[in-house]
Structure 1
Amino acid sequence: MKLVIVLCVMFLAVCESRTMSRCEVARAFKAQGLDGFEGFALGNYVCMAFWESKWKTHKVRESDDSGKDYGIFQINSFKWCQDGTANGQNLCRVPCGDLLNDNLQASVECAKLIVKREGLKAWDTWDKYCNGRKLSRWVKSCDV
């Protein structure tokens, strides 16, 4: 009986989250207008999303600052989305749960607002792992 319960829980965990492939991410980001957005090549966004979430669309984690970080870009609930965080600003005007969607539309729209306001340096991971590096490898062989 315990084995059946463990297997059911494992199955549910797999169904609740999705890890996209590098090329799936690149194609989705390109289709939603991130290639060249605010002067940044597509590889910047693919690289940054990898270091933020490992391309897991349903990732949620406690933030180092306040609130929680959501989705493929790990967008913070204190400033950018609404999850009930005290004094949250919700500048993207979106429920944080919408950032956990596999179609990535809400995540990309919110990321665009963040990039317009603060640039990609808003993500420490972009500055640390992507900025100034060869980024073509992130979209290589993806037909984008």
Structure 2
Amino acid sequence: MRLVIVFCMLFLAVCESRKLSRCEVVRLFKAQGLDGFEGFSLGNYVCMAYWETKWKTHKVRDSDNIGKDYGIFQINSYKWCNDGTVGGKNLCKVFCGDLLNEDLKASIECAKKIVKQEGLKSWETWDKYCDGTKMKRWTEDCD
């Protein structure tokens, strides 16, 4: 029964989501405290989210490891959220379907926990495409 509820929640979340523009992402991330969070400029988060999903709030994909990856940050269900994955840890204490919402609140709160514990290097895309590059281009003209 739990699995049916999770799938229904995922279906509803997908129906409510869309691809955000760069400036929408900048404004949402800034409003929810990512600018300077753990010493990283806002551009780092915008860049990483771009390379993870092209700013699509509804993206779900099978993980390279265990479980699935959810939302704009592609947060993994085995370690960070609950989608019924056997042995899942749910360290963010959130249903994975909540990570698909357009308001990004659950995604950002979970991403903050990940960054506090593991840093942005937890995302291979940040390490590969964002680290050491000019971050200003990701946020300019979005004020």
Fold shared, TM-score > 0.5 on shorter chain: yes
Runs of 5+ unmatched residues, structure 2: 1-13
Residue aligned with 2:26, SS: helix
Deviation at 1:34, TM superposition (A): 0.1
Residue aligned with 1:46, SS: helix
What does the per-residue CA deviation read over 1:69-118, in whole Å, with 9 as the maximum and x for residues that have no partner?
Answer: 00000000000000000100000000000000000000000000000000
Matched positions, count: 130
Q: Using the alignment, how far apart are the partners of 2:71 and 2:15 within structure 1? A: 15
Q: Using the alignment, how far apart are the partners of 1:40 and 1:78 within structure 2? A: 26
Identical amino acids, percent of aligned pairs: 75
Residue aligned with 2:61, SS: strand
Contact 2:53-2:73 within 8 A present in 1 as well: yes
Q: Using the alignment, how far apart are the partners of 1:17 and 1:41 within structure 2? A: 26
1:127 match: 127
TM-score (normalised: structure 2): 0.89
1:47 match: 47
2:94 match: 94
Residue aligned with 1:110, SS: helix
Q: Using the alignment, how far apart are the partners of 1:126 and 1:86 within structure 2? A: 28
Runs of 5+ unmatched residues, structure 1: 1-13
Relative contact order (alpha carbons < 8 A, sep ≥ 6): 1 or 2 greater? 2
Q: What is the root-mean-square deviation of aligned Cα atoms in Å?
A: 1.1
Contact 1:29-1:35 within 8 A present in 2 as well: yes
Greater C-alpha Rg = 1
Deviation at 1:17, TM superposition (A): 3.7
1:78 match: 78
Deviation at 1:15, TM superposition (A): 5.1
What does the per-residue CA deviation read over 1:31-75, in whole Å, with 9 as the maximum and x for residues that have no partner?
Answer: 000000000000000000000011000100000011000000000
TM-score (normalised: structure 1): 0.88
1:8 match: none
